[in-house]
Amino acid sequence: MDELTLLKVRELEIAVRVWNPDAPRTLIAWHGLARHGGDFGEFARQLGPEWRVLAPDTPGRGLSSWSLYPAHDYLYSHYMTIARAVLDHFELERTAWVGTSMGGLLGMLLAADKDTASRIDRLVLNDVGPELEADGLASLASYFTVPHRFTRFSELETELRRHYAEFGIEDDAAWRQLALNSARRLPDGSWTHHYDPRIGEQFIHDTPRDLWNDWRAIRCPVMVIRGGTSTLLSAESIDRMRETRPDLVSLEVPECGHAPMLDRASQVEPVLDFLTQPMQTPTPSTTRTPWWRRLFGQRQAPAAE
């Protein structure tokens, strides 16, 4: 990252990682459940110097504060408050949003909410949508609600390779960087993941809602990316999403599960095309064949590896 901005939201300090701070265009990139904004470093580099990338660390992750009250702070409603604070601090009336997993759901909620919908210009959902596979959710909940402790750093790296195997990371250097960005040392000298183990309580305290209602309320252009072997977002769910949004742009990343890292040209370039192509604001009733349907020429455009 090129800069680090620290915001105070209620009693919590929120870290926002910034790449290309003087770029003429801006997007917010929001990470998944147990990750942090540092995951978007390569994404920002490949987008290029025209884009300022703002990547907040959600409370309990990365450089942001841990909450003393997880039942109140590790909830989507509070994450929306934090997102609004980020938008206000950087004086963003309208901006693009790229969200992986949890970050994508947060973007959906903002784009559907009457108070913030106008501030989301375009929305990219990375391996997430209004309908998620129950088995995939159960697997996430069971993993992140259990503390993990490792005697050696190498053991932590081995576990990260196992747990995040579906990220599609291809080389040892990238795995080592992921481990360096994911490690936290405990007082006894052992190692654990770089997040508050209580973030998993979100699965207990957050109020379930019908995300299909939110999906139908979104009016900005939307792109969805799916890992070809994702356990969280099914191809059938994307078909259902397209029933009410025929203008939906979709990209399927082969040989990748939950979730693509957005760290290579075959993933970043289609996102860049979506962000930069001129378009009229679509609605669910749009009947004209959109530019991206003509551009990709098929329902789902596979990413070349």
CATH number at residue 93: 3.40.50.1820
Query: What are the angstrom distances between the C-alpha of 295 and each of 1, 51, 89, 299, 300?
Result: 33, 23, 36, 11, 11
For residue 74, is pLDDT > 60? yes
Name the pLDDT band for 296 (thresholds 50, 70, 90).
very low
Name the pLDDT band for 35 (thresholds 50, 70, 90).
very high
> Domain containing 81: what range?
3-132+197-302
Q: What is the pLDDT of residues 41-67, one digit of tens each?
A: 999 999 999 999 999 999 999 999 999
Name the pLDDT band for 179 (thresholds 50, 70, 90).
very high
What is the DSSP code (8-state) at residue 61?
B
Is 293 part of a structural domain of the chain?
yes
Name the pLDDT band for 147 (thresholds 50, 70, 90).
confident
Is 147 part of a structural domain of the chain?
no
Q: For residue 57, which phi and psi values (nearest 5 degrees)?
A: -95, 120
Tally of structural domains, the chain: 1
Is 116 part of a structural domain of the chain?
yes
For residue 238, is pLDDT > 80? yes
Q: What is the pLDDT of residues 253-283, one digit of tens each?
A: 998 999 999 999 999 999 999 999 886 655 4
137-145: average pLDDT = 80
**In this predicted structure, what is the pLDDT of residue 280?**
61
144-160: average pLDDT = 91
For residue 114, is pLDDT > 80? yes
Is 222 part of a structural domain of the chain?
yes
Is 167 part of a structural domain of the chain?
no
Name the residue with higher pLDDT: 131 or 147. 131
Identify the three-state secondary structure at position 65. coil
Name the pLDDT band for 100 (thresholds 50, 70, 90).
very high
For residue 295, is pLDDT > 50? no
Long-range (24+ apart) CB contacts under 8 A made by 21-24 are 21/52, 22/52, 23/49, 23/50, 23/51, 23/52, 24/50, 24/52
Is 284 part of a structural domain of the chain?
yes
Is 148 part of a structural domain of the chain?
no
Is 80 part of a structural domain of the chain?
yes
